[in-house]
Structure 1
Amino acid sequence: MSLLDPATLLPLIAALTLAGALIGFLAGLFGIGGGAISVPVFYQVFQTLGHAPDVAMPLAVGTSLAVIIPTSIQSSRGHFKRGTVDMGLLRLWALPVLAGVALGSAVARFAPPQVFQIVFVVVAAINAAKLLSGGSGWRLRDSLPGKTALRAYGAGVGLVSALMGIGGGAVSNLILTLHNVPIHRAVSTSAGVGVLIAVPGTLGYMIAGLGRPDLPPDAIGFVSVATFLLTIPTSILTTRFGVALAHRLSRKHLETAFGLFLLAVCLRFLWAILAA
């Protein structure tokens, strides 16, 4: 299938433009990088262009992490201005998250596509169940643990996020709310986690894919430059609207919206696993 064919090119551009708008909006609204939208969209785009699943999936994940860089920066800045970002926790997580991302990026070079999809489904399903049930009984303790445990959490967030191609918002949000952190503060801090994950994650996927002959000509490792450039304009445009809406919604409404979104993404990837 030729990318120069208008019948192929125009629908792909439209899909990436729409995906960019959703990525930016979700980054602001839920404090996530938007990978839950971009990974399945990019995966479908790369398969449409004729790439095998073992190339399409890590390429989708790596490109998703690249897109998360500007959206997570803009989202975290918006939440920071409202005073709801836990900067102390972000500083504590910086190195552990980096270590987790490095490990996840290394695994990406050899793991089959089902590994990425299964990790995505498990994390999304647990988080969705917690949010939609109102959080009753879903609490590990009434406050965050000590620094050692928090560093371990940070490494886990980095590892899982690198495998899922997300900014870590879904994972860190789950951890924080399980420790009685209010949803608005959890969402805002999770936006900052995206910055910690996206930059090293993108570099890791670039390195992991270097030298592969079956990648598209625009790709740097497992990152598609063309896809990145087509997605970014609308994602940057819509991030501010997501931030504004997040701070207007009540705790219950924000939790319900986030839960429904994660459930939809979970079902999408479950379908992909069963259809494989």
Structure 2
Amino acid sequence: MPVRWHLQTPCSSVFDTARSKPSPHSTPHGRPGPHFLDTEALLDLSLTLIAELIVLGLCSGFLAGLLGIGGGMLMVPFLTIILTARAFPDVYTVKMAVATSLATICFTSLSSVRAHHRRGAVLWPVARTLAPGILLGSFAGSMVAAALPSRIVGHLFAAFVAFAATQMLLDRKPKASRVLPGAMGIFGAGNAIGALSALVGAGGAFVSVPFMTWCNVKIHNAVATSSALGFPIALAGSLGYLLAGWDLPQMPPGAIGYLFWPGLLAISAASVLTAPLGARLAHSMDIRPLKKVFAVVLYALALYFLLR
């Protein structure tokens, strides 16, 4: 029988001691903490994964600009698929996709707001009055989503996508039937807009634009003002998802709480490049047939979340 020798040296004893120490990414209770500083694990993130994230950002940005929709409707389902294919823990994938999609709005909303502001279309007094309720609602919504089972979060997203698809097919606009409410009404509306947006990883336009149009705000002003609300929604919601997932066990490398930062950076950088191209193309063609086709795709994505 061959004899295995172990050479005992001063260095080997130091290494053995180092290996026996708790991981720098462990919490005081012995559970693994955030892995965003785990450089060895981050190196295992393949170039294929990064390429997939960049392609997702390019496509979602282009379609958001072309069809005037939130990029989250594509980002959340396909990011869920990408993370699931990489064997990320199933209990976290949907929430990570929603949180990461929401965080990208911190970057993508800035260029959109700048463009609308140059045209003088943003109603800043309306945005300022809605912002406090939105900040509170978005933070609370993200904490609620983090506490819910992953399956329920997926079903909520499916309902949101199906609602958006139906709006695209019917193309119905709310009728202006009243004026903006008082301070308490605006605060309550902001709470609802923020909470719903954080639950599904969206920028809030699917609620805020119909609300403002219903309150007799012109559609182009409503769209522009909604783009200004995307940043506080994303900021407060991302903070909530970060804090809620900070100390969870078995989080994959690259995760800061529920935020998957390689995806956040790759998708944000790519979508900022293609969104203006899509918007430019939208002015030179009839996009109504495309919206109907995309609505069918959204129904399929909603079905995926209901059945997964």
Query: 1:264 is matched with which residue?
Result: 297
Residues 266 and 65 of structure 1: CA distance in aligned 2, closer, same or farther (over 3 Å): same
Partner Cα distance (2:257, 2:70) in 1: 21
CA-to-aligned-CA distance 1:185-216 (integer Å, 9 cap, x gap)? 33322222211211111111110101112211
Query: 2:144 is matched with which residue?
Result: 107
Structure holding more helix per residue? 1
C-alpha displacement of 1:257: 5.5
Please tell me whether Structure 1 or Structure 2 has the larger radius of gyration of its CA atoms: 2
Residues 232 and 187 of structure 1: CA distance in aligned 2, closer, same or farther (over 3 Å): same
Partner Cα distance (2:74, 2:242) in 1: 21
Partner Cα distance (1:249, 1:271) in 2: 33
Q: Does 1:156 align with 2:192?
A: yes
Residues 215 and 268 of structure 1: CA distance in aligned 2, closer, same or farther (over 3 Å): same
CA-to-aligned-CA distance 1:213-253 (integer Å, 9 cap, x gap)? 2211221101112122222221121232244455x379xx5
Residues 175 and 249 of structure 1: CA distance in aligned 2, closer, same or farther (over 3 Å): farther
Residues 108 and 269 of structure 1: CA distance in aligned 2, closer, same or farther (over 3 Å): same
C-alpha displacement of 1:163: 0.7
Residue from 188, 194, 209 that aligns with 2:230: 194
Query: 2:161 is matched with which residue?
Result: 124
Query: 2:38 is matched with which residue?
Result: none
Which amino acid in the other structure matches residue 83 of structure 2? Answer: F
Residues 139 and 176 of structure 1: CA distance in aligned 2, closer, same or farther (over 3 Å): same
State which drifts further: 104-113 or 176-185.
176-185
User: Normalising by structure 1, what TM-score?
Assistant: 0.83
Contact 1:27 1:71 (C-alpha < 8 Å) held by counterparts: no
Residues 262 and 111 of structure 1: CA distance in aligned 2, closer, same or farther (over 3 Å): farther
State which drifts further: 37-46 or 263-272.
263-272
Which amino acid in the other structure matches residue 226 of structure 1? Answer: P
Residues 150 and 27 of structure 1: CA distance in aligned 2, closer, same or farther (over 3 Å): farther
Contact 1:132 1:256 (C-alpha < 8 Å) held by counterparts: no
Residues 221 and 163 of structure 1: CA distance in aligned 2, closer, same or farther (over 3 Å): same
Percent of residue pairs identical: 35
Which amino acid in the other structure matches residue 150 of structure 1? Answer: I
Query: 2:111 is matched with which residue?
Result: 74
Q: Does 1:139 align with 2:174?
A: yes
C-alpha displacement of 1:39: 0.9
Contact 2:157 2:305 (C-alpha < 8 Å) held by counterparts: no
Partner Cα distance (1:89, 1:96) in 2: 12
> Where in structure 2 are there 5+ consecutive unaligned residues?
1-40
State which drifts further: 33-42 or 120-129.
120-129
Residues 260 and 159 of structure 1: CA distance in aligned 2, closer, same or farther (over 3 Å): farther
Query: 2:220 is matched with which residue?
Result: 184
Residues 27 and 130 of structure 1: CA distance in aligned 2, closer, same or farther (over 3 Å): closer
C-alpha displacement of 1:180: 5.3
> Where in structure 1 are there 5+ consecutive unaligned residues?
none
Which amino acid in the other structure matches residue 269 of structure 1? Answer: A
CA-to-aligned-CA distance 1:100-127 (integer Å, 9 cap, x gap)? 1111111122211232233223333334
C-alpha displacement of 1:144: 3.8
C-alpha displacement of 1:174: 3.3
Alignment length (residue pairs) = 267
Q: Does 1:85 align with 2:118?
A: no
State which drifts further: 155-164 or 144-153.
144-153
Which amino acid in the other structure matches residue 197 of structure 2? Answer: S
